[in-house]
């Protein structure tokens, strides 16, 4: 649970939403190499990743009168973005998913008629991990599966553009970009409002 994700949950709560953060890894992350190992393992096993991602909505559904289980969204940053896209591909009963700088590629593409959630992918045009060919393949996948989808391509952004800590990672192509962060957050709030609130404003 990074400070970045906790901050975003607080921002969602301030916007009037009930927000829950889910730990996909399920074990302490020792360092960057360990994190990469965990992500590779889950990327190679999308069925397990989808199962873990599905625990979040299941937990929210049991939240009693504090939440409306009929109006749920899944939002993810970086590998969390990858996770919520796999959750959508699984046919999870959620209103929408928003992936911010999440890897778009998958070993189990969406099947026609399976995805019920609206999908928004916010991607940096300079992201070294999400190439133009990967974006094109994602577009083809979404079209073939009949998904209601959008992609926001941010021209100045690289990877992790919403995360201020990315500037200290010293990794080429990883950087925080305030404009891209603001634009993608606004797009996400617009998707939530249109999908969960019917354009009615604050929940």
Compute the distance between CA of residue 59 and CA of residue 54 in angstroms, rounded to an integer: 9
Decide if 202 is inside a domain: no
Q: What is the tens place of the pLDDT at every residue in 59-103?
A: 777 766 778 878 999 999 999 999 999 999 999 999 999 999 999
Decide if 201 is inside a domain: no
Decide if 162 is inside a domain: yes
Number of domains present in the structure of the chain? 1
Decide if 203 is inside a domain: no
CATH code for position 183: 3.40.50.1820
Instruction: Give the pLDDT band of residue 203 (cuts 50, 70, 90).
Output: low
Q: Is the pLDDT of residue 109 over 90?
A: yes
What DSSP string describes the chain?
--HHHHHHHHHHHHTT-------SS-S---SHHHHHHHHHHHHT-HHHHHHHHTHHHHHHHTSGGGS-TTS-EEEEETHHHHHHHHHHHTT-S-SEEEEES-----SSPPPTTT--SEEEEEEETT-TTS-HHHHHHHHHHHHHHT--EEEEEETT--BTTT-GGGGGS--TTB---HHHHHHHHHHHHHHHHHHHSTT----
Decide if 135 is inside a domain: yes
Q: What is the tens place of the pLDDT at every residue in 114-163?
A: 999 999 999 999 999 999 999 999 999 999 999 999 999 999 999 999 99
What is the span of the domain harbouring residue 92?
A: 3-196
Q: What is the tens place of the pLDDT at every residue in 25-56?
A: 888 888 888 988 999 999 999 999 999 888 88
Decide if 164 is inside a domain: yes
Decide if 158 is inside a domain: yes
Say how many C-beta atoms besides its own lie within 10 A of residue 28's C-beta: 7
Model pTM score: 0.91
What is the percentage of the chain residues whose pLDDT exceeds 90?
Answer: 68
What is residue 56's predicted lDDT score, i.e. its pLDDT? 81
Decide if 27 is inside a domain: yes
């Amino acid at each position: 649970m990074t400070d970045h994700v906790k901050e975003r949950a607080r921002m969602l709560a301030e916007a009037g939403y009930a927000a829950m953060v889910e730990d996909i890894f399920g074990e302490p992350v020792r360092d960057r190499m360990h994190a990469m190992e965990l992500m590779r393992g889950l990327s190679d096993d999308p069925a397990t990743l989808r199962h873990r991602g599905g625990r979040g909505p299941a937990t929210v559904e049991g939240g009693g009168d504090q939440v409306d289980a009929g109006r749920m969204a899944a939002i993810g940053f970086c590998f969390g973005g990858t996770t919520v896209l796999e959750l959508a591909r699984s046919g999870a009963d959620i209103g929408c998913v928003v992936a911010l700088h999440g890897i778009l590629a998958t070993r189990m593409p969406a099947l026609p008629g399976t995805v019920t959630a609206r999908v928004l992918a916010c991607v940096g045009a300079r992201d070294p991990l999400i190439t133009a060919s990967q974006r094109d393949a994602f577009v083809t996948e979404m079209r073939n599966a009949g998904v209601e989808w959008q992609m926001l391509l941010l021209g100045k952004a690289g990877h992790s553009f919403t995360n201020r800590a990315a500037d200290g990672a010293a990794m080429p192509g990883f950087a925080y970009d305030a404009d891209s962060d603001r634009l993608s957050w606004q797009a996400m709030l617009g998707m939530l409002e249109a999908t969960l609130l019917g354009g009615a404003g604050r929940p």
